[in-house]
Structure formats: C-alpha cells, structure tokens
Amino acid sequence: MLAIEVELLMHRYAATAHNDRARAEWPPHPARFFSALVAALHDHDDTDQAEGAALLWLEQQTAPSLRVDEELNVGTRHVQDVYVPVNDVTLVGDPEKTLRDALSKYVELVANSATAKELKAADKLVEKEQKKLEEIVRAQQVVESAPSDKALATAVAIMPDRRTRQVRTFPVVLPETPTFAFLWPNADPSPHRAALEQLCARVTRLGHSSSLVRCCVVDRDITPTLLPSDEGHVVLRVVGPGHLERLNRAFEQHEGFQSRVLPARPQRYRSAFEVATPSPKAESVFSTDWVLFERVGGSRPVASRTTDLARALRSALIELHGNQDLPPTLSGHAESGPTGQPHVAFVPLPFVGNEHADGALMGCALVLPREFAKSDRELLLRLVAKWEKERSDQGGNLTLAGGTLPPFMIRRVDVSAKAALEPVRWCRAAARFVTATPIALDRNPGNLRSNQHGTATKAVVEAQQNVSDACLRVVGVRPVSVEVSLAPLLPGAQHVREFLPWPGRPGRTPRVRVHADIRFEAPVRGPLLLGAGRYFGLGLCLPVEDR
C-alpha cells in the first residue's frame, strides 16, 4: 500500500477549477499532485534516475483513492476580483533586445563558418545596434518639450501609487481537516519508497503559490473517503501511463510560463459511504474509451446535422490516411462489403436532456468498439495526431466542413467542461435510455403516420420490435419496454422530420427514423448507439433516471 499525506500548512487550498476560473478546485486532483511531483523532480538539472523511475512506476498505477473532506464539509471564500499591479508599463522597455538578436546572429554565423562578407555585414549590424542602444540611454537625459499623450500616460501609470492594475481571481477553499491523502491500496512501492519520500519532501505547494503544503509518505492505515468508480458523481483528473513523457514534451513548448492545459484523463469517484452499486452485467459493444473533440468556433449546427458532421469527421481521417486501405475496424468496410463487426463510430454530441438544452452540437467523439485491437487503436490515434499536426491552425484547432455543412471548428481535449462532452454522461449504467438523435430502423415498419388506426398501430409494434432487435445487437439484452415517437422525447432533441434522409445516398432507400424511450430490466452500461445510423451519430441514447 502507498499512502501520501498532504497537510495544508495555512489551512487553505487555493487552486482554480480546471474548467471554471471562477470556482475553486476541491478535492485536489491527483493529476495536479503528480505535476507537483514532476516539478520537484526537475529541481536539479540532472534529474535523479531513481526519482524518475519512481514517477514512471507511479503513473502506471490505477487511479488513487482519496481521504479528503467531502465538498459539503468544505468552506469556500467568495471569489472576488483582486486588482494586482502590472509590470509592463514602461518608457524604455527592453532596449537591448535588437542588440542581443544582432549579437546572437553574429555568433551563429561564426559557428557556421560564414563568408567574410556575411560576417562583416553582421558585425556592422552589431555596431549599429550598439550605437542605437547608446542613443536610447542618452535620450533618457533629454527632456522633451512637447511629450506625447502616450508618454504622459505611461509616466502616470508607472508610479507605484497610480500603477495600472489587472484583475485576477483567487478562489480559496477552507477544509475542516487540514490534511488529506492519496492512497494506492494495492500498490507495492518498496523499490521506489526512498525516491518517493525524497520527491514528497520537495513538494512545497499545491495549486497557487500561497497554498503551502507539507507532503510525506506515511505508513499508517488510512481509510479512504473517495473511491474511483464508474458510477460515481465526482470527476477528478488523474494520470495514466505515458504521463511523465507528455508533461516533459509539453514543457518544451510552454517552458513554464505560457498558459497551458494540464494533460489528464477523467476518472469518476464515488463517496466511500455510498453503497457500491454492482457493475451491470450487460454492456454495450462500444467502449467508454473515446477520442473527444470540443467545438471551439465556426458554425453552431444543431443535432439534425449530426450525420453531416459525422461524415465530415470520417472523411477527414480517411483522406489523411491516403490511398492505403483502412482496416475494417475503422472504415466499416471489409473486402466483401460492410463488415458485421462493430467498428469506430463517429458521433457528434448534442446538448440535450437539461432544462435549457438547445440541441446544439457541442463537439464530437470517436467512439471505439470494446473489441478493438491494439494495433488498430494505435493506427487511429496516429491518424488523429497526424490530422492535428498537418491540418490544425495556429490555435491548434481543426476544421470540419463538407457538403452543405458550414465550417465547424474543433479541438481535441482530454477532459471538457461541457456536460454534453463528458463520456460518462452517455456511458453510465442505467435501466432507462431515451434517444437524443433518432434511431434509423433496419426495416421499414410501415406507415407510422397512417390515419387508419390499424396500420399505424401495426407499424408502431413493428418499430418497437425493430428497436428491441437493435438493443439486442448492441448490448446483448432485450428491453422490457420500448415507446416510439416521431416527436422528440428529451429537451433539446429534435423532431425526426428535421433530420436529413439517411443514408441520403442516391439509390439507397431512406430509413424510417423514430425516437424511443427504452427500459431494461437491469441497468445496462452504455454508450447506447442503436440502429442503422449508429456509426454516424444517429440512435445516440442518453441514460436517464428510471421513473
């Protein structure tokens, strides 16, 4: 067992929630703690081998349990805007910059054995910059007779009593118990214990620099209060294998001062006091392992455009792959035609189910099938990385467009603040599911809109049977009841008539689509993607409370 205890020396924890700058983070996220350990690792230029190995071992462990005050028992400070003085008001600025650039250019030329002519030119540039610098220094002695408004404003703003200020927020949490702990009950840290102790001794703060902490490895038994569980309600960022490498690579880019997002993976936690719900026996052929993209700009399509967006996403990846054949698990096609095996689904995610839901597509996901070969997974991730590398703009954003779809800008994220993009929202075990996007039925059930009572009723029964078959295919069990409807059954979802025909290709019969409210006997774990269009965003079902 590995237990690391952290004491908040000032009895306060100041850290901003990763998805809302106006809120404080609580409980402290394990990923943040891991980053603090990595910072401690890099205290010295030559990182200690044993310490590095210890962190590589730690990232392989499962997500830790926590012993920490529950959010109910934690006090918070009302977040107020604080105005802090800036330091970039200046008359002079960095006058040496151009000279430094000229000098380094000269040095570079010397190192690369440049020609005498080039060296002479560079030397002249250095001299010129030196003269310019001397001129700037001399200019400080000169009093201008008619100074510009800008210069006057700078002179006012630079004095300490009138210094310009910038708003910052400092959210603070005040837990009743000043200590908390991260626990790995099944881990055996013995070979790495000493190194971990050394690293912990160097963790001096967690979160803002005013959150000073004491951190050490402890031997006594500590009972956890928060346990990792897919049924839990608390989502914390944790680390996984390869994390140290990711952090090191990211550091090369941001160098410790540019704004950045901590890489992490989300993990659900439940309170240790809640009774653990047993894991559902039935689960979807689709996994909870998603590659998530969040909408960052461009058009704001609603759920009715879901198939267009899904097709655009698939096309983007296929185009990147080039002419080589994609394996069937990615393309859905084997040599002989459509494969019967579950393959990657391209699923745009709409905002539905809440009081204010408007059905807008908040992003999209690549939903991997549960049975997915490691090599295929790697291929997919490489394709995505290639896509990001070659097609993203300066902000790291990708654009999806195609057909009648106006450009839709997305960015890959590990964890999103948007509820609609949280995989667990769609994947949690439930006994009742309601469609967010309509299910495209495999067979035509008949005329659901018929005025003749008998025809419509027969069609409804047929449609219900269809949906039941679809459930059997995807989760392996039949539901106990299915209600079908053409009108939407969730706030934010849209009427089936708003959706373009599916498959919408010439020569292919358009499928009948229905919304459905599906109840199972026992909870089933999602994600539930049903019907003919399930690989393209249709038939996406939201787990809801069973009432």
Partner 1 sequence: MPLNLGQLNALVRGDAVAIRGTATLEPAGGPGDKIFPPTHAVDDRNKGPGAKYAFETRRIGGHDVTCVLIDSVQSQANRMEEALEALWSEKRIALPVVTVDFSSVAPEVGRVTSLSAPHRIADALLRDSLLDGQLFRLSAIGKSFTDASPRNATALFKVCPTGLVFGLWDSTGPKGGLGAKFQRALVSEIVGINAVAGTKTESRIDPLNILKKAADIYVAATDNERWTTDIEKAKKYENDDKDHKKDDPVRFGKEGKPSEVNHGNVTPSIVTVAGGVTIDEARHTVVLSLASLRRLGFTTGPEEARTVLAALGLLAVLASESRGHDLRSRCLLVPKKTASLKLEAVGRDGETTSLDLDLPGAIKLYNDAFAALPLEVKFEKPAGEALAELTPSPKLADLVTRSRALATADTDFAEA
Are the C-beta atoms of residues 475 and 285 closer than 8 Å to each other? yes
* The only residue of 50, 109, 125, 216 in contact with partner 1, by rule CB under 8 A: 216
Interatomic CA distance for residues 306 and 535, integer angstroms: 11
**147 contacts partner 1 (rule: CB under 8 A):** yes
By CB under 8 A, tell whether 279 contacts partner 1.
Answer: no
Least gap, CB of 533 to partner 1 (angstroms): 45
Work out which of 2, 3, 4, 12 binds partner 1, going by CB under 8 A. Answer: 12
Question: Rounded to the nearest whole angstrom, what is the least distance from the CB of residue 36 to partner 1 in the complex?
Answer: 12
Residue for token pair 């919408």: 504
Distance CA 545, CA 312 (A): 33
Of 48-56, 185-193, 255-263, 511-519: span binding partner 1 (CB under 8 A): 255-263
Pairing of strands 540-544, 430-435: antiparallel
Quick one: 78 or 505, whose CB is closer to partner 1? 78
For position 73 contacting partner 1 by CB under 8 A, the verdict is yes
Contacts with partner 1 by CB under 8 A: the residue count is: 77
Q: Which is nearer to partner 1, 139 or 276 (CB)?
A: 139
Residue 335 engages partner 1 in binding (rule: CB under 8 A) = no
> Which backbone phi and psi does 463 adopt, to 5 degrees?
-65, -40
| Strand residues in 380-451 grouped as ranges (E) | 398-402, 405-413, 430-435, 439-440
Length of the chain: 547
Contacting partner 1 (CB under 8 A), which of 80, 113, 323, 394?
A: 80
Contact flag: residue 214 with partner 1 (CB under 8 A): yes
x/- binding map, residues 108-137, to partner 1, per CB under 8 A? Answer: -------------------------x--xx
Asked if 25 is part of the footprint of partner 1 (rule: CB under 8 A), the reply reads no
Cβ closest to partner 1, residue 20 vs residue 43: 43
> Considering the complex, what minimum distance in angstroms separates the CB of residue 137 from partner 1?
6
Residue that the structure tokens 């949490």 belong to = 173
Tokens 């030119």, residue located: 121
If DSSP codes are grouped into helix, strand and coil, which group holds residue 347?
strand
Burial of 459 (0-12, 13-18, 19+ CB in 10 A): buried
CB of 171 to partner 1, least distance (A): 10
Question: If binding is defined by CB under 8 A, does position 27 make contact with partner 1?
Answer: no
| Residue in 210, 132, 201 with CA at minimum distance from that of residue 171 | 210
User: DSSP state, 534?
Assistant: G
Binding status of residue 11 toward partner 1 by CB under 8 A: yes
Distance from C-alpha of 315 to C-alpha of 307, rounded to nearest angstrom = 12
Q: Looking only at residues 151 through 210 of this chain, which bind partner 1 when binding is defined by CB under 8 A?
A: 151-156, 158-163, 165, 167, 172, 174-176, 179, 201-202, 204-205, 209-210
Q: Token pair 């209600």 is at which residue?
A: 483
Binding mask 280-309 for partner 1 (x = CB under 8 A): ------------------------------
Nearest distance from C-beta of residue 544 to partner 1, angstroms: 34
CB burial readout 121-154, b (16+ within 10 A) else e: ebeebbeebeeeeeeeeeeeeeeeeeeeeeeeeb
- One residue of 7, 48, 388, 483 binding partner 1 per CB under 8 A: 7
Pair of tokens at residue 481: 């009841």
Residues 6+ apart with CB under 8 A from 35: 247, 262
CB of 109 to partner 1, least distance (A): 22
Minimum distance, C-beta of residue 214 to partner 1, in the bound complex (Å): 4
